[in-house]
């Protein structure tokens, strides 16, 4: 029998479970104290070459993905499975056990008990007790002998599996994590406004991942509070698949875009040295947008315009105002300072042009595909449900022994619960009172 | 009257309530005990009004959000949950002696909030915090932390009684029986464990909706998991190995240390995604 095997005993022991939990908890501290996923030089500079070498050998710089940490997690999962296989059959027997098979002697000796006598025949008494129990949610089964009847009813027999629901939930979460790491990816991409990308860079220098479609950033903007704190980062994204625009959405932090199982999260931004210049002609209708590097001349042939950004004032990396050089070929060229992303008017002999000069931003997106995430969520829900069942719900059992007496019937009510006994005692007392008075009322 | 005045008053009423509970214990007076209970309940109402008003004030400033977004606000809320949970336990288990150990924790939290050099202003939310998960994440975590704090207060009572309880005349003799303390320690831990689990889960779901990763081994996440393991070990030790009494009482203190480090230490000593808490 495998259960006598000492290796089986080893993995089925709670001592081992406690040891593994302890080891995971203690080793986890290392990664919170020693910064993770830094370059090799970082560890040499901060901890010296000897420690850096030891860290490298033990995979400390990425300890949560190291072989030994994953082994601990695997052992935890394995221990959970073996513990459950070892103990579940016994628990299942208790769930399935027939209360009527309990010897009358044991029922009589239970500490939670109430006794009374009625002057009615046994069958009547039995029927009315069954009815009262049913009204309380206890469905009774009966076993009758010549001079006596045993009634048995129970509630929450399945709640004995609560602990195993919790253990199973951890395994479901592990399964979700494995599905996610095998079938998904995580990466990032920088997309300058007006441009599109069809690849992302995977984290951990693992190369690139083709998306199977491309994603365009139409616009990026930052909103600020009055005190200068950032209020919102917004990117207008368009998904383009086989030349068709299939989806457009403004994403913000906490409000990502999802397409074909791949999710795009707003995560950073980068001001560039390029500009987007929008020119509106004096006719008030024709407008056109141009993308230009700093200090380079652009031409718009048809109306015969030449222009470019020749100077800029910056705060940090952000352009505050830019100096636009403009020529329409008629009178002498001119240069004006315009605020970033604010429309300005240019009075020329040929009419009034509207110009907007905007610094080009690139939006930084985090990109993730995780087909295991729903497993993880189901596991989490299962865990909360299992914890509630394991700690707050109990298996309550009730027996009634009825025996024929000369002047009627003697009744003995007993009961037991596997948890929260004080609570059960109260319910039991209520039930006993109800059954006794019920007898008198009829 | 603004929220900071109400919360300032709360600090002093909790201090006075602590004295009342200690007097109840020392003089074994039910009359003082009744006063202590009522006084604490009123203080809790004042604090509730303060938190509510702070919420309203943030809307008046045009940056409306639940008052749970920096160290000051979270410590105030921590204190609020400790007192609320304590009053529930007093009502449920019909004993006031725990108050002499639990209510001072509520006071200490408020005192830290009031007097420590931390930012007490109502600040707008950075984009990452603008989420519906903020409320459920913070509330679940702090109900858990409060339950663990009370378990630790009971643990101190247990250890006092277990080590110095031989002489009936001293303070230890005034404490509830060890079996009662052991039972409430266990129940508080169970409550805390379930809420901490919910807190970690809501945090994971939030992280996934903000960054696309439900778990990234950030120091705060890792420490919350370490805390979860400490209590998981404790509950298993009790259920399957029948360990109770002093060992569990000591574990309730170790657990609270881990909670405090998760909540406080990580923000100040380590870096990570939750660094907003240091402001």
Among the partner-chain residues A25, A256, A376, the one whose CB lies closest to the CB of B214 is A376
All residues of chain A having their beta carbon less than 8 Å from the beta carbon of residue B211 are: 265, 267, 366
pLDDT score, position B263: 85
Contact criterion met (CB < 8 Å) for A29 and B233: no
- Same domain? B96 vs B202: no
- Average pLDDT rounded to a whole number, residues A88-99: 89
Among the partner-chain residues B212, B215, B223, the one whose CB lies closest to the CB of A32 is B223
A–B interface: beta-carbon pairs under 8 A? 101
Chain mean pLDDT for chain B: 88
Q: Which of B92, B125, B158 is a domain's end point?
A: B125
For the segment A330-342, what is each residue's pLDDT rounded down to a tens digit?
778 888 899 988 8
Contact criterion met (CB < 8 Å) for A265 and B211: yes
Smallest CA–CA distance from B228 into chain A, residue: A25
Mutating which of A13, A15, A32 best tests the B interface, going by the most B Cβ atoms within 10 A?
A32
pLDDT at B147 over 60: yes
Asked if A174 reaches chain B (Cβ–Cβ under 8 Å), the answer is: no
DSSP class of residue B167? S
B252, B233 Cβ separation under 8 angstroms: no
Q: Which of B21, B16, B51 is nearest to B33 (CA)?
A: B21
A267, A259 Cβ separation under 8 angstroms: no
- Banded pLDDT at A155 (limits 50, 70, 90): very high
Dump the DSSP string for B54-110.
HHHHHHHTT----S-SSHHHHHHHHHHHHHHHHHHHHHHHT-STTHHHHHHHHHHHH
In this prediction, what percent of chain B has a pLDDT beyond 90? 52
pLDDT score, position B83: 95
For the segment A112-138, what is each residue's pLDDT rounded down to a tens digit?
889 888 888 888 888 888 888 888 888
Asked if A335 reaches chain B (Cβ–Cβ under 8 Å), the answer is: no
| Assigned token pair, A158 | 């399945």
- Same domain? B185 vs B150: yes
- Same domain? B173 vs B195: yes
pLDDT score, position B172: 64
Contact criterion met (CB < 8 Å) for B63 and A225: yes
Smallest CA–CA distance from B235 into chain A, residue: A18
Among the partner-chain residues A22, A368, A377, the one whose CB lies closest to the CB of B233 is A22
Q: Which residues does A225 contact at the CB level (< 8 Å), separation at least 6?
A: A231, B63, B124
- Distance (Å) from the C-alpha of residue A26 to the closest C-alpha of chain B? 8
- Same domain? B27 vs B46: yes
All residues of chain B having their beta carbon less than 8 Å from the beta carbon of residue A383 are: 197, 201
Smallest CA–CA distance from B233 into chain A, residue: A18
Smallest CA–CA distance from B183 into chain A, residue: A420
A97-156+394-441 maps to which CATH number?
3.30.160.110
Contact criterion met (CB < 8 Å) for A25 and B222: no
pLDDT at A371 over 50: yes
Q: Residue B250 is part of which domain span? A: 128-279
pLDDT at A360 over 50: yes
- Same domain? B93 vs B182: no
Contact criterion met (CB < 8 Å) for A373 and B211: no
A257, A249 Cβ separation under 8 angstroms: yes
Q: Which of B109, B125, B141 is a domain's end point?
A: B125
- Banded pLDDT at A1 (limits 50, 70, 90): low
- Same domain? B148 vs B167: yes
Cβ neighbour number for residue A115 with a 10 Å cutoff: 12
Terminal-to-terminal C-alpha distance of chain B: 25
- Angstrom CA distances, B100 to A36, A196, A242, B46, B249, stand at 44, 65, 71, 20, 17
Q: Which residues does B7 contact at the CB level (< 8 Å), separation at least 6?
A: B47, B50, B51, B54, B76, B110, B113, B114
Contact criterion met (CB < 8 Å) for B232 and A21: yes
Contact criterion met (CB < 8 Å) for B214 and A17: no
For the segment B197-250, what is each residue's pLDDT rounded down to a tens digit?
999 999 999 999 988 899 989 889 999 999 999 999 999 988 877 787 889 999
- Same domain? B140 vs B120: no
pLDDT at B167 over 60: no
Cβ neighbour number for residue A426 with a 10 Å cutoff: 11
pLDDT score, position B170: 61
A104, A151 Cβ separation under 8 angstroms: no
- Average pLDDT rounded to a whole number, residues B62-66: 84
ipTM value of the model?
0.89
- Same domain? B187 vs B224: yes
pLDDT at B268 over 80: no
All residues of chain A having their beta carbon less than 8 Å from the beta carbon of residue B131 are: 254
Mutating which of B62, B65, B69, B127 best tests the A interface, going by the most A Cβ atoms within 10 A?
B127
Smallest CA–CA distance from B202 into chain A, residue: A380
Instruction: Give me the sign of the Cα torsion angle B27, B32, B36, B37.
Output: positive
pLDDT at B270 over 80: no
Burial class (CB in 10 A: 0-12, 13-18, 19+), A145: exposed
Q: Where are the domains of chain A?
A: 2-94, 97-156+394-441, 181-271+364-383, 272-359
- Average pLDDT rounded to a whole number, residues A148-176: 93
- Same domain? B97 vs B178: no
Q: Which of B106, B125, B144 is a domain's end point?
A: B125
Contact criterion met (CB < 8 Å) for B198 and A384: yes
Q: Which residues does A103 contact at the CB level (< 8 Å), separation at least 6?
A: none
Interface of A with B in 140-169 (CB under 8 A): none
pLDDT score, position A74: 94
Contact criterion met (CB < 8 Å) for A21 and B233: yes
Q: Rounded distance, CA A393 to CA A384, Å?
A: 13
All residues of chain A having their beta carbon less than 8 Å from the beta carbon of residue B63 are: 225
Q: Rounded distance, CA B218 to CA B210, Å?
A: 14
| Assigned token pair, B110 | 């408020």
Asked if A186 reaches chain B (Cβ–Cβ under 8 Å), the answer is: yes
pLDDT at A414 over 80: yes
Q: Rounded distance, CA A62 to CA A38, Å?
A: 9
For the segment A141-151, what is each residue's pLDDT rounded down to a tens digit?
988 888 888 99
Contact criterion met (CB < 8 Å) for B124 and A388: no
pLDDT at B275 over 70: no
- Same domain? B173 vs B102: no
- Total domains in the fold of chain B: 2
């Amino acid at each position: 029998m495998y259960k006598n095997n000492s290796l089986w005993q080893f993995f089925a022991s709670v001592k081992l479970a406690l040891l593994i939990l302890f080891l995971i908890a203690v080793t986890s501290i290392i990664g919170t104290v020693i910064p993770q996923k830094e370059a090799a030089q970082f560890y040499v500079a901060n901890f010296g070459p000897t420690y850096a070498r030891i860290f490298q050998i033990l995979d400390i710089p990425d300890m949560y993905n190291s072989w030994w940490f994953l082994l601990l997690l695997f052992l935890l999962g394995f221990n959970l499975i073996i513990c459950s296989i070892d103990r579940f059959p016994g628990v299942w027997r208790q769930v399935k056990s027939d209360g009527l098979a309990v010897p009358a002697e044991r029922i009589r000796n239970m500490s939670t008990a109430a006794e009374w006598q009625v002057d009615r025949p046994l069958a009547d008494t039995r029927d009315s007790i069954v009815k009262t129990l049913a009204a309380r949610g206890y469905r009774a089964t009966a076993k009758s002998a010549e001079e006596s009847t045993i009634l048995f009813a129970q509630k929450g027999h399945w709640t004995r599996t609560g602990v195993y629901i919790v253990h199973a939930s951890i395994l479901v979460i592990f399964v979700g994590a494995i599905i996610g790491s095998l079938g998904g990816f995580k990466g990032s991409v920088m997309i300058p406004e007006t441009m599109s990308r069809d690849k992302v860079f995977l984290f951990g220098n693992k190369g690139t991942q083709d998306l199977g479609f491309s994603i365009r950033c139409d616009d990026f903007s930052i909103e600020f509070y009055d005190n200068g704190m950032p209020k919102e980062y917004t990117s207008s994204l368009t998904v383009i698949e086989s030349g068709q625009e299939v989806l457009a959405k403004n994403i913000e932090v906490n409000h990502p875009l999802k397409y074909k199982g791949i999710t795009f999260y707003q995560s950073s931004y980068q001001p560039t040295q390029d500009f987007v210049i929008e020119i509106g002609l004096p006719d008030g209708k024709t407008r056109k947008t141009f993308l230009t590097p700093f200090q380079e001349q652009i031409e718009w042939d048809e109306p015969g315009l030449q222009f470019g950004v020749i100077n800029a004032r910056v705060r940090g990396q952000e352009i505050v105002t830019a100096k636009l050089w403009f020529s329409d070929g008629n009178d002498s060229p001119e240069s004006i300072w315009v605020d970033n992303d604010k429309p300005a008017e240019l009075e020329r002999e040929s009419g009034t042009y509207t110009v907007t000069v905007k610094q080009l931003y690139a939006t930084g997106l985090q990109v993730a595909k995780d087909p295991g995430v729903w497993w993880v969520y189901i596991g989490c829900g299962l865990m909360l449900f299992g914890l509630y069942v394991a700690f707050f719900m109990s298996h309550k059992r009730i027996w009634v022994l009825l025996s024929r007496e000369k002047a009627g019937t003697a009744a003995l009510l007993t009961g037991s619960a596997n948890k929260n006994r004080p609570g059960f005692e109260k319910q039991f007392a209520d039930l006993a009172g109800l059954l006794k008075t019920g007898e008198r009322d009829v | 009257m603004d929220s900071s005045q109400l919360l300032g008053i709360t600090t002093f009423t909790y201090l006075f309530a602590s004295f009342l509970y200690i007097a109840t214990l020392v003089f074994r007076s039910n009359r003082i005990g009744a006063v202590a209970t009522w006084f604490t309940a009123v203080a809790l109402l004042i604090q509730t009004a303060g938190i509510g008003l702070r919420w309203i004030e943030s809307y008046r400033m045009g940056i409306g959000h639940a008052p749970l977004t920096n160290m000051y606000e979270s410590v105030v809320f921590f204190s609020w949950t400790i007192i609320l949970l304590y009053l529930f336990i007093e009502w449920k288990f019909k004993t006031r002696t725990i108050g002499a150990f639990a209510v001072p924790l509520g006071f200490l939290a408020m005192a830290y909030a009031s007097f420590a050099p931390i930012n007490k202003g109502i600040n707008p939310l950075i984009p990452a915090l603008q989420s519906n998960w903020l409320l459920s994440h913070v509330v679940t975590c702090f109900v858990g932390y409060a339950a663990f704090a009370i378990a630790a207060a009971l643990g101190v009572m247990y250890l006092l009684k277990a080590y110095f309880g031989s002489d009936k005349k001293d303070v230890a003799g005034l404490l509830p029986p060890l079996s009662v303390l052991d039972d409430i320690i266990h129940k508080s831990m169970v409550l805390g464990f379930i809420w901490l689990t919910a807190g970690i889960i809501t945090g994971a779901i939030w992280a996934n909706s903000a960054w696309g990763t439900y778990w990234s081994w950030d120091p705060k996440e890792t420490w919350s998991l370490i805390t979860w393991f400490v209590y998981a070990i404790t509950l298993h030790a009790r259920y399957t190995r029948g360990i109770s009494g002093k060992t569990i009482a000591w574990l309730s203190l170790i657990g609270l240390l881990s909670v405090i480090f998760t909540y406080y230490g990580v923000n100040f000593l380590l870096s990570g995604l939750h660094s907003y808490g240091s402001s």
